[in-house]
Amino acid sequence: MKTVKLTINGHPVEVEAGTNILNAAQKAQVKIPSLCYHPDLPAWAACGICVVKVKGLNRLVRACATPATEGLEVTTHDPELYGIRRTIIELILSTHPDDCLQCPRNNNCELQRLAAEFGIREAPYGKRLRDLPPDDTTGSLELHPEKCILCGRCAAVCQGMQGVWALEFIGRGEKMRIAPAADVSLEESPCIKCGQCSAHCPVGAIYEHSHAPEVYAALADPTKHCVAQIAPAVRVALGEDFGYEPGTLLTGKIYAALRRLGFDAVFDTNFGADLTIIEEGTEFIERFAHGRGPLPLITSCCPSWTDYMEKFAPDFIDNFSTAKSPHAMVGALTKTYYAEKKGLDPKDIFMVSIMPCTAKKFEIQRSEEMSSSGQQDIDISLTTRELCRMIKSAGIDFRNLPDDEQVDSLLGAYTGAGTIFGATGGVMEAALRTAHWSLTKERLPTMELKEIRGLDGVKEATLKVAGKDVRVAVAHCMGNIEIVLDKVRAAREAGEETPYHFIEVMACRGGCVGGGGQPYGATDTIRRQRAAGLYRDDEKSAQRCSHENPMIQQLYAEFLGEPLGEKSHQLLHTGYYKRKPYKR
């Protein structure tokens, strides 16, 4: 690693060559204020707040877009820089509505924080708002362009990281705005509802459509039997809003909080993850060992990924696992299996999923198969952020809740394999643990498949199972998937054997731990911490393979019969349809 030495306000620091001045300054315990820069993205250099002085240059440079070089002498703070930054913040505020109290980013907004840090007390440049209409057409995400400060993060995420190109700058000069590409509505655009735009937006210009009011209404309705389930990635991220370190495992406290909110039963999506592995793993063995169906098999747990595939890669529809996502399975079973056992009318059950995801809001209504129980299987999907707000508004002292609260029976118990679904590579790892056992009746020699963990965009591994090589690929962050698909397409066209047998795809960077509905502020460090929390949960689990889950075994014995059986097909599987990227 080549390093360079420079000084920040006279303090010598040594950093890796190519590090920008903004990050180099952190090594000298200096925080340069910035607004448009995000560590996930290349510098866009729009706001101009991070300007610094460099000795020998008679102009200022942007710390976000200037690499540290040998011998650089940087001044990050002085009265002139303070004045310039303050003026720019005041200018940006002159085009931003003052509706902080009604904004979902209140207390959590990067512009609000800057204004507070700089002690802005007046609006010297008046207020010039643009009167742009909001877009709430998807039911998952709301775009409020009048609040947008044009930092460009959402467009960079959508185009660069996710490869979707649903958001774009439209117009120029003071008429410039962020809008769905081609200026259609968000619902008509190629948007896959991953919500990464909302996770990266520094202000409240794009955020999840809140469904908390519907949940409160159901909780207040005595005729409703309210059931909640939490996704794997929620338990290691929710604590961030309550002062915990990222990655702190808070499963028990979250169960307790849900009960205190008034839910009659609390289930766990990890159970659904275990069930997904049984169904999807069986599908894989059918295709891999018995040649029934095309390879590679591609995971379908991620609703943004299925939306992307239907729009941009419909040539892979046959390769998709037809297994529903874990929470959809739990939803379908709650309104059939659980309802039967409890003697409840499925119509009276109100099923709420707590997800790290904004696309799940779209998924629960995406096709008829999502109403396999006769009702809509999942009534409402909330994001982690929405649950945080509900817990706070319900007056629950989250930090002092008991840690050991248990999940409800039937659809709650989970194994280590289920919990790691929340991290990239986790679905693959869990599936291979069970597939290996199914084919050999032996456990994997090492449970941890390190080569498919971590934040590399595309991870590959080859595993010997029953004397055969199983070649797998794991991609996360939607923009990386085309690399994998192109390899498969190339082999397909050349008539060669498929380069992979099994592919896992997650739309968000880091997998669900970095989901679009997670608490704000995710960086790679935080994604790693959250994933580490899930892997710790796995390590301390009594069972670490999905097929060992006693409640799953009971479910098949009492209700489903066998994996891929008739009842499974009816309740746990779905179909995919070619869709146009643009609806008009």
Partner 1 sequence: MGSGGMIVMDEDDCMVDVARFYQDFCVDESCGKCAPCRVGTRTLLNLLDKITTGKGTRADLKKIRDVGAAMQKAALCGLGQTAPNPVLSTLKYFEAEYLAHIDEQHCPAGKCKALVTYSIDASKCIGCTLCARRCPVGAIEGERQKPHRILPEQCIKCGECLKACKFGAVSRR
Contact positions vs partner 1 (CB under 8 A): 45-49, 51, 59-60, 62, 80, 83-84, 87-88, 91-92, 94-95, 124-126, 128, 149-150, 152, 169, 171-176
**Least Å distance between CB 171 and partner 1?**
7
- Give the DSSP letter of residue 285: H
Active site residue 245: no
- Please indicate whether residue 566 is annotated as part of the active site: no
Smaller CB separation from partner 1, 76 or 372: 76
| Cβ closest to partner 1, residue 125 vs residue 450 | 125
Q: Which amino acid is at 157?
A: V
Could you tell me the smallest distance in angstroms from the CB atom of residue 26 to partner 1?
21
- Smallest distance from partner 1 to CB 174, Å: 5
- Which residues are 227's β-sheet partners? 265, 351
Active site residue 321: yes
Residue 512 annotated to the active site: yes
* Alpha helical stretches, state H, 28-141: 79-93, 110-117
Given the DSSP bridges, would you call strands 468-476 and 458-465 parallel, antiparallel or unpaired? antiparallel
Catalytic residue among 142, 280, 386, 504: 280
Indicate if 283 belongs to the active site. yes
- Quick check: 447 and 544 in contact, CB under 8 A? yes
240, 279, 363, 548: the active-site residue: 363
DSSP assignments along 413-455, one per residue: ---HHHHGGGSTTHHHHHHHHHHHHHHHSS--S-S--GGG-SS
The CA-to-CA distance between both ends of the chain, in Å, stands at 50
Residues whose CB falls within 8 Å of the CB of residue 554, separated by 6 or more in sequence, listed in order: none
Q: For residues 116 and 493, give the distance between their C-alpha atoms in angstroms, rounded to a whole number.
A: 58
Catalytic residue (one of 140, 321, 353, 438): 321
Q: Which is nearer to partner 1, 47 or 285 (CB)?
A: 47
Quote the tokens at residue 143.
């775009």
**Residue 96 CB, nearest approach to partner 1 (Å):** 10
Catalytic residue among 110, 283, 310, 548: 283
Q: How far is the CB of 172 from partner 1 (least distance, A)?
A: 5
Q: Among 302, 388, 512, 545, which one carries the catalytic annotation? A: 512
Instruction: For partner 1, give the closer residue by CB, 149 or 391.
Output: 149
Q: For residue 142, what are its two tokens?
A: 């709301």
543: nearest Cα among 533, 551, 531? 551
Between 177 and 224, whose beta carbon lies closer to partner 1?
177
Q: What's the number of CA atoms in the CB half-sphere (13 Å) around residue 571?
A: 30
The full DSSP string for 139-200 is SSEEE-GGG-----HHHHIIIIIS----EEEES-GGG-EEEEGGG--TTTSS-----HHHHH
Torsion from C-alpha of 279, 252, 340, 351, nearest 10 degrees: -80
Comparing CA positions, the residue from 387, 47, 109 lying closest to residue 228 is: 387
Residue 234 gets which letter from DSSP? G
194-to-140, 213, 518 alpha-carbon distances in Å: 9, 22, 11
**Number of neighbouring beta carbons within 10 Å of residue 133:** 9
Residue number with CB closer to partner 1 (152 or 195): 152
Question: In terms of CB distance, is 84 or 466 closer to partner 1?
Answer: 84
State the catalytic residue, choosing from 122, 368, 493, 496: 368
Structure tokens at 136: 């709430």
Residue placing its CB nearer to partner 1 in the complex, 126 or 495: 126
Annotation marks residue 301 as catalytic = yes
CA–CA gap between residue 576 and residue 567 (Å, rounded): 19
- In the complex, what is the shortest distance from the CB of residue 49 to partner 1, in angstroms, rounded to a whole number? 8
Rounded to a whole number of angstroms, the minimum distance from the CB of residue 91 to partner 1 is: 4
Chain center to CA of 426: 14
User: Pairing between strand 51-54 and 167-170?
Assistant: unpaired
Shortest spacing between CB 493 and partner 1, in angstroms: 41
Say which of 253, 311, 324, 360 is annotated catalytic. 360
Which residues carry out catalysis?
Answer: 280, 283, 301, 321, 360, 363, 368, 512
